[in-house]
Structures are given as C-alpha cells and as structure tokens.
Structure 1
C-alpha cells in the first residue's frame, strides 16, 4: 500500500499537540492501570479520525505528517479502507463517551452523505478520493476505479454502524436505512469478471480488468469473500469462496514457523505480516469461528501473532531494541518508503510498527500490553496527538512523526473489541452477515451452525 500527502496547517498541528499533551511519559505507564493505559491510547488514536478527519467528507485522511513534510500537495485525499477502520473507531469513541451520541450521529450522517455521492464503480468504492469533491484519486495509473477489498473494509464498518443505529430514534433509523441502501448497491457479482468463481480486486472504467488481480487466500481479504456471499442483492454463490479464496482446499497447509503451528497457507511467505490477522477481524469475531479449511480462526490468528513475536525475540538480524517488550512486524512506513514487514529475514528491516502488537491485543493481551507500556514509556519520540506514530527503527535512530490511517484504525478498534467486544457484537448481529456465514459453512464453537437468533 502506498500513501499520498495531506496537509494540516501548522497552527492546527501545534494546537492539537498542546491539547493532547505530547509530553514525555518518562516511565509513567507504571502509574496507570491497564484500563487507564488502554483508554489513553484508544482516545488518542480515536482523535486521528475525529479531529484529524478531512472536513468535507468526515472521512480519514490517508496520512498525517506532524512534521509537515509531504512528497506531494494532496491535502484533501481520503482513504476508503482506512476510513472504514476509522468509522469503527469513531463508533467505539461514541460508546466510550469521547464524543456525545449526537455529535457522533452528525459525523456519521456527514460520512454517509459523502459516500452516497462519491465516485463508485458498480457499487464499489475506489482506494482513494479527493475528500473535497468525492472524485476518485487514482491509486495507480490503472487502479482508478473500484477496489473491492477496500470496499469490503468500509462495508464491514457500515454494517456495524447500521446495527448500532437500527433500533434508535427516528433520525438514527433513517441513517441506518441509508446505509442499508449503500450496502445493497455493491455489485459483488460484477467483480467475478464474467461469473468466474473468484473475486477480482480491481476494475477500472478506463482499463477494465487490466490490473488482473484474482484474490486467493490466505491474506487480509477474507472479509471480502464473506461480505460478497452475504449480500442480499448481489450475493455470490458459495463456490466463489471455495474455488476462489480456498482454491478447493489448497489454502490448507499445516506447517511450523518459529516452532509454532500454523494451519493455513500464507501467500508468498510462511507467516505473513500482522495486518493479515487484523483487518478482516475488526468486525468478524474470530472467537470459536471455524470452517472446513481452518478449525479455529482465533487460534490461527493468535499463533500468527506469536510467530511474529517469537521471531522478533530471536532477532536473527540483531536489530537494536527488538525483544519481548518491543515486537511487531506488519505493513507500515519503513526506512525506505513503505514495506510489508514480515517475520522472516527477507522482509525484516528492523522497523517496528506499533499497530502490529497493539492491534493484536485480542489475541495476545498480556504480550501486547507489555509492548504498549514500553512504547508509552518511550515518550513523545513515538507517542503523539493521534497515538503512537506509524513506525520506528532504533537501529537506524529513525523516529518519523507520521501517521497512516490504515494502521491507526485497527489499534482503536481492537482495543475496544478487547475491552467490550463492541464491534464484533454489532457486525456479527447483522442478519445478512449471519446469512453469508451460513452460506459458506462457517460454524461457531461446539459445532453449532451460525444462526441469526
């Protein structure tokens, strides 16, 4: 994934830094209970999507650089997938009282109004828009149309919002109805490119299917297949999941990494970056979840996290700072651009991304909290007005004060899921989601088929 520039006026940056208090913590985490620390980090991260949002759309800016340095001047660019994560973070913020229910509703109405008029391609959203106009900002020359994976991330969020407001007052119910319309308008079937039993990532009104990216598992795209099956209007048959995503069982590949058992095949590597354990499961509850390809999604994602931690503790490339209180490799900014850091020597550049361990708190709470306290005690070198900065390297003495929406969002969402399970409960309660999971043969614990009851 790549990033575009944003611009925040210097005075606003100074105000935010002062208002949020970016003083060094100097070991202060010891004075905080676990819940107080979690709330501090969640609230700061929420601010990225509240105070830092693009004003017209209400959506998440692709990135915010506190140093004010950007390669381009695209100050109005917003991200669809990162905004999906941000919508869920805002929902959690309403639940926590960071803003009032009325303020939260007004923001959600602004977001939905933008999504109703912004560029869509057979119901699917692009990776980026210009937030002031709603017109597509190409992610690449041929990637200037629908992005079905990013659309799935934003729909995951909108279905949770729908459930939050569906039983509310008339204004809230009206918003839920508008969300339902957006959901029903996504033409998942179109993205089969001629009714193939696989989903394609991209389609362009100018270049058609030239990106040519059929999506197979396992990676972060599981949620796309589940939502495609769940659609009440353009739902794909189960064969698309079984033949496309699971490739008729080829996704199953039992193996060990760092002495830890993994059951699934991870595309291009023995164990992928940690966002593969997070993006689909911001709404999809992995607890007790299984299908014919994975007997325990929670256990699999926990083990993927433990592989990441174990590799960093072993630290075969001898990077400074790596250890039990500082681990986490995932896609993030890197010392040379942007990279998908993974637990192998080829993809390990000595860069720690806080989102990796912190967004895994649902899988490894004790270990993730250990990292959170360590990072908090590092002070304003890594912690700013919108939470922990995207990435750093102690070996290279590299501490950029920069944020990416797609990395900040999972931190706030997974902290809330750890604290209350809110986003899991909302998303999993949607009847269409229940139907989609049933169609694909997913089961909960004790061999109990998923039901809408």
Structure 2
C-alpha cells in the first residue's frame, strides 16, 4: 500500500461529528455484545473462551453515560445494567482463598465469566481494580436522581469502592504494589514513576475509609523522569496509553501538582507532548519499519505477531507478542495501535485526525463491528491476511473504552464534567497537592 501524502485533501479533512459518532458507536458495541447478561461481566477479548477482565468491566461501566447521552439505551434501562453489574461484583467472594474473586476489596485481573471467580492463578491487580472503581464512581456520579433505583446505584458503587484497603495494598511501604497472589503474597513491583498509576493514587488518596497518606503520592512522583525529547520538554513514559488512561476520567487541563508547578506544565499538556513524540519517532523511523511516518504511529501495550525472529527484506527482525511497546526508546517491533492514537484525540486532534483517516484506508475495520482492530504490523508479511501483513485477530475490552471515552471527551467533555462532581476524585486530587483550574 502506498503511503498517504499530506497533500491529500480527503486525508486532511476534519471528520464530521457523524464520522466520530459512527466510530464511537461501533466501538461501544463491544460492551453490549461481549457482556454476560446474567452478571454484567465483560470478556477480556473477542476469543470465545476468554475470561472476564475486571478492567474491561470498569470501562464498560464508564461508557454507560455515553450510551444514555448518545441515545443508544434509555436511562432507566442503562441504570438496570449498572445495578446488575455492581450488585454481582459486590456479592462475589472476597478473601484469601485462591478461588475467590478478590481480596481486601480489590479484584483479580481475570475472572471466570460465569462464576466471577479467579482464573489462571492470575494476580489480584491494583491497577485493574482501579479501572473498575473509576467506572463504578462514574455511574455513581452520573445517576444522581432522587428515585430509589438511582440511589441504589450510588450505594452499590460507593460500597464497592470504599471497601478497598489501600494501605494493605502498600505492603508496609509508601507506594502501592502491583498486586498480590494467595500462593506467594505481594508482587515485588511497585507503582513508582509516571504512568497510568496516577489514577491509582488519586483514587487511593480520595478513599473515605482506607485513604493513602499524602506521603504515598510524593513517593510515587519522586522517581519521575523529566526529559527533552525531540525538542519537547516532558515527563517521560514510553507507552502512549500511560499518558491517556487517567485522563479518561480526569480533566487535567490547568490543574497542577507540585511537580507540574515546578515545570510550568500540567498533565494534559504533557500528554500532548507525548503524542507528538510518538509521531516524531515514527517519522524518524530509526529501525526502518514498513509504513511508519507522519500518519502511521502509536506505540503502546498491545497484541503482536508473536515471539519470533524473522528475516524480512534482508533484515533480521525480532517480533513480540503482547508487550508494552513505547517510543522513542522501545521496545518496538513494527507494531502500531490505532486505538491508542484515537485516545489522544483530546490532546492533539490536528495530528490524530489525519492519522485516523490514514488507518481508515488500510482495511483495519474502522466501519466494522467493534471498530479498528487494535494493532497491526506491516513489517510482518502474512499470506492469509486480507492486508498482506499481520493484523490482530481479536479486539480487547481494555482498548475499546479509551476510544469511546476519549472521543466523547473530545466531542463534549462528558466524562470530565461528570467526574468533577465525584467527591473521591476531587478529594484525591487535593490530597495529592493539585490546585488551580476547575479545582
């Protein structure tokens, strides 16, 4: 396929609201089609044997206001979906037993989609639980009516969030651990340095029952890595999703913690810089991967061709399976993720929009069920592929939410507006030292 040129007027045209709405709608359908109607659990990916992902459940909850405001499901029935999902999660067994659903208020990463119990000896995940809590708090803030049904949504959501013991999850340290397993105890890795863990600390600080001490946030930020990359000053984190996921819920425009005050920036501006860094890396294309350029970029945690070495056009390449790819320091194997580009729409629409239009012409499923396939690799030729190169065979539940929510934040700011009324978020931001702007 020939590279798209910036002189193409069709490529550079601004998509209409209808174009974005269509992409948002087909992406949203994942959470309607891939949800168990008995309990509200959501498949991790479109493979028929996939378990539920607790993070995907949280993102499904967060998209409920979009379903209502976009006229896809009426408010009363959307409320029923939220209540059923929250009620089931609250009734799932918590405890140290290896087949429980979670422990100390947190949940295992993957659950059996029928029973809600742990599968695969997976970890109790603090970050995946945080996405669940953020989704629960979204519906609690959105369903603000006086009637008993909406009051029950708020009660269930707040109970789910408030029982999480954030101090236990620190394992006698200041920073939060990545998680815990009943067989071996706490995972040795901790949330330190800038990444999607920003949301984790704000939720932990805002808890009315087991709040983190403010010192935990200082311990998280003390290993921040401020760099100059391609002439842009920014707080570095390689995968683009780390600059986006906290922003799905929190409007960081104009609000600053101590670190950002010292650097005369904010996290929104930082994400804008990170988006341009990804584009600039693709333009420079130091490893000479096929297709990279001004309108083909976006490196993140994603599916890949597999753990394999191959000689392509005389060059030996090493490819990866699911891994957190990043720019400009890698890892990089030629895999690009359309979803993570769309999730930067609020930050840098002037480069996101033409890139999305380039992807739209690459037979990646933009107008099909669930929208864009999550990742592709033009440096990995594949004879039986429609495109001639590797394209992810599955859609993933945690990739769909950022597309839906960030398109909505770009269009209307809906999620940001809802969460300004969420007391735990506001309290958590203030305890972390954020000031200014809408705060």
TM-score bin, normalised by smaller chain: 0.7 to 0.9
Match of 1:284 among 250, 257, 274: 250
Question: Residue 323 of structure 1 aligns with which residue?
Answer: 293
Q: What is the correspondence of 1:262-301 to structure 2 with a 5 Å cutoff? A: 262=234, 264=235, 266=236, 271-295=237-261, 296-301=266-271
Aligned equivalent of 2:216: 240
Contact 2:23 2:367 in 1 (8 A): no
Confirm or deny that 1:85 pairs with 2:59: yes
SS at match of 1:347: coil
TM-fit CA distance, 1:31: 9.7
From the superposition, tell whether residues 214 and 36 of structure 1 become closer, same or farther in structure 2 (CA, over 3 Å).
same
Shift of 1:400: 3.1
**1:355 counterpart residue number:** 339
What do the CA deviations read for 1:134-187 (whole angstroms, capped 9, x no partner)?
Answer: 1112464xx2xx311111111111111101112353211211111111111111
Q: Does 1:172 align with 2:143?
A: no
The 8 Å contact of residues 129 and 137 in structure 1, kept in 2 or not, is answered as yes
* Distance in 1 between residues matched to 2:201 and 2:152, nearest whole Å: 28
| TM-score, normalising length: structure 2 | 0.85
Are 1:44 and 2:16 an aligned pair? no
Deviation, 1:29, is: 8.2
CA contact (8 A) 1:381 1:399 kept: no
Displacement of 1:64 in angstroms is 0.7
Map of 1:441 onto structure 2? 433
SS in 1 for 2:256: coil
- Paired residue for 2:165, among 170, 182, 187? 187
- TM-score, with structure 1 as normaliser: 0.83
Partner of 2:86: 112
Q: Which residue of 2 aligns with 1:4?
A: none
Give the structure 1 partner of residue 353 of structure 2. Answer: 369
Tell me if structure 1 keeps the 8 A contact 2:239–2:326.
Answer: yes
Whether 2:348 is the aligned partner of 1:378: answer no
Unmatched segments (≥5 aa) in structure 2 = 1-8, 93-100, 307-320, 381-388
Counterpart residue number, 2:95: none
Q: State the secondary structure of the residue aligned to 2:326.
A: coil
Aligned to 1:403: 395
Give aligned pairs, total: 397
RMSD: 2.1
Which residue matches 1:60? 42
Note the residue ranges of structure 1 that are not aligned, 5 or more in a row: 1-26, 69-73
Q: Answer yes or no: is the 8 Å Cα contact 2:64–2:139 preserved in 1.
A: no
8 Å Cα contact 1:329-1:342 kept in structure 2 = yes
Shift of 1:232: 0.3
**Matching residue of 1:15:** none
Aligned: 1:151 with 2:114 = no
